[in-house]
Structure 1
Amino acid sequence: MRVRRGYLLISVFLWVLATASGACADSFEAFRGLEGTLKISGGTAHIPVMQTLAQEVMRRYPAIRITIAGGGSGVGIKQVGEGLVDIGNSGRKPTDEEIAAYGLKLYRWAMDGVAAVVHPQNPVRALTVQQVKDIFSGKIMNWKDVGGPDRAIHVFTRDEASGTREVFWKKALDKGAIRKDADVVPSNGAMKTAVATDPAAIGYMSVGYVDESVRAVILDGVEANVDNVQSGRYPVARGLYSNTKGDPSPLAKAFLGLLYAPEGQAVIADKGYIPVTQ
């Protein structure tokens, strides 16, 4: 009886494995017979997912080349609208004016939170929304005023083309002022490097970029993590969009489809985002 049960368990395991493998294989089947270059640019929060999937596509289909650049959400929307790239990524929904002007089609494939972040050695682990507003506006200039060391606060921000900046500015800062002397960095990756190397720093980044090199600040008692973004408890959240000018090309369509397929959804979750079904 034990032997039969063992065979049964092995059979079930092999069936599940084969089914999963088949689903993953099917995720890439849409690329079969395609060739050429797919150009992608825009929001930097998207890059870890895009790079992982692009590398796998190119490994399986050497006749396909996929290039991925950052630049921020505004750049992605503008470049795809002007026909410079095939897919323009944005960490915000394009405006009605942008959609109309460029004839955009939108594909939302993930949800993401944006967290205020500090250096791991900073003892300040939690802030209120009002404290965050006062820090970024310059009303609070020293960490000692929020329970930290007697040290001037070094504020980092993103440029106005950034979707990460827009959601943080709207939902965490309530469209309030940001210090004019704040240092501007060009991407989520650059923000992480800046904060990780400066014990006096505070910045903000996609939750998907947070690792042990920085600490996400607890905001009004709520941790900035995937579970709280998904439940709606953590309010500083946004959708991740990929946009095309009109109907996507066959190569772009295959890549966009991959984001909603089992393999793409697994990568999205692995990178710290919340997958959205099509």
Structure 2
Amino acid sequence: MRRASVILLLAAALLGGCAQATPTPMLTEPETAAPSVIEQQAAPEPTAEHALAGRITVAGSTTVQPLAEKLAAAFRAANPEVEIVIQGGGSSVGVKSAAQGIVDIGTASREVKDSEKAEYPDLVIHRIAVDGVAIIVHPDVPLDSITTEQVQAVFAGEIANWRELGGPDQPITVVAREEGSGTRDFFQEHFMKDKEIVARAILQPSNGALRTAVSTTPNSIGFLSFGYLDDSVKALAVDGVQPTEANVYAGTYTAWRYLNMLTRGEPAGLARAWLEFILSDDGQQIVTAQGYLAVKR
């Protein structure tokens, strides 16, 4: 097999951002239910007579993009005649691009909004992973846990000094995602409710950029996809519950969302083959290896 070579085109915001909507079927409410591990099947191996070849185009969520790249590389390793072109742009770009047939597959780190479902009735949602969202701080912040109410107050600017949370007498630097980010929209709906993120927040264009900003900015706080957590930042327990995969599955850590791939109508050909691989045993092992959680089909 020839070595995989996924072509990555990093789009600079194709059409716009993304917005969060209430999760749909399969689970009831994220606050009270937990995702289930899928019963996985191995993806079929292509035969010489039926070798896959061609091009798949993908665009959308920057949260899903690195995971999609890993899944594409693994798929290409077994199917070297397949080219997978992956772009970012945001969840709303993923929804619109897939629905309008601009790309074969769109990606979104949020649920499809009711308005989008009405506008694009042929859109089909494929859940590929579950992703938690953690509250993170600079490693030197002497805090290990925070309540949902405190998160809301800090990001709304109502609490502006760590002293008010039992920490040192230092101002809190709020770091957040940009407007249109699916991760921001999820954070807004889950934590902030009807309050807005403070205007003085330092905005970042991606999970990776936000992690770097928090890890290098003393006294800072932010929110981050589970798939981006590492030792450069400290993840806080929320309401006494650690942000772990086990606690998401147990239903005790409630800040999680689905990662989705989207197609216009039921997928066929290469798109279908790749989606089947993603939801296979091998594909879901890649999902979990990247720090995300497997889904239930």
C-alpha deviation, 1:80, in angstroms: 1.7
Runs of 5+ consecutive residues of structure 1 not aligned to the other structure: 1-22
Shift of the 30–194 alpha-carbon distance from structure 1 to 2, 3 Å rule, reads farther
Per-residue displacement from partner, 1:133-159 (whole Å, max 9, x unpaired)?
111000111122212222221111123
Alignment coverage as a number of residue pairs: 255
Runs of 5+ consecutive residues of structure 2 not aligned to the other structure: 1-40
2:106 to 67, 88, 92: 88
Q: Tell me which structure has the larger Cα radius of gyration.
A: 1
Determine the C-alpha separation between the residues in 2 that align with 1:92 and 1:30: 36
Alignment of 1:7-156 (within 5 A): 26-29=43-46, 32-102=50-120, 103-156=122-175
1:253 equivalent in structure 2: 272
Determine the C-alpha separation between the residues in 1 that align with 2:289 and 2:194: 31
Determine the C-alpha separation between the residues in 2 that align with 1:175 and 1:204: 18
Determine the C-alpha separation between the residues in 2 that align with 1:67 and 1:180: 36
Per-residue displacement from partner, 1:205-242 (whole Å, max 9, x unpaired)?
11121111111111110111111111110111111111
Determine the C-alpha separation between the residues in 2 that align with 1:100 and 1:81: 11
1:3 equivalent in structure 2: none
C-alpha contact 2:46 2:52 (8 A) present in aligned 1: no
User: Could you tell me which amino acid in structure 1 is paired with residue 46 of structure 2?
Assistant: E
Determine the C-alpha separation between the residues in 1 that align with 2:47 and 2:104: 17
User: Could you tell me which amino acid in structure 1 is paired with residue 293 of structure 2?
Assistant: I
C-alpha contact 1:27 1:263 (8 A) present in aligned 2: no
Shift of the 81–161 alpha-carbon distance from structure 1 to 2, 3 Å rule, reads farther
Q: Which has the higher helix share?
A: 1
Normalised TM-score (structure 2): 0.80
Alignment of 1:233-272 (within 5 A): 233-272=252-291
Determine the C-alpha separation between the residues in 2 that align with 1:135 and 1:187: 21
Shift of the 131–28 alpha-carbon distance from structure 1 to 2, 3 Å rule, reads farther
2:235 to 199, 210, 216: 216
User: Could you tell me which amino acid in structure 1 is paired with residue 239 of structure 2?
Assistant: D
Normalised TM-score (structure 1): 0.85
Percentage of matched positions with identical amino acids: 40
C-alpha deviation, 1:203, in angstroms: 1.0
Segments of 4+ in structure 1 off by > 6 A? Answer: none
> What SS does structure 2 have at the residue aligned with 1:275?
coil
- Which stretch of the first structure deviates more once superposed, 28-37 or 227-236? 28-37
Once superposed, what is the RMSD of the aligned Cα atoms? 1.9
C-alpha contact 1:38 1:67 (8 A) present in aligned 2: yes
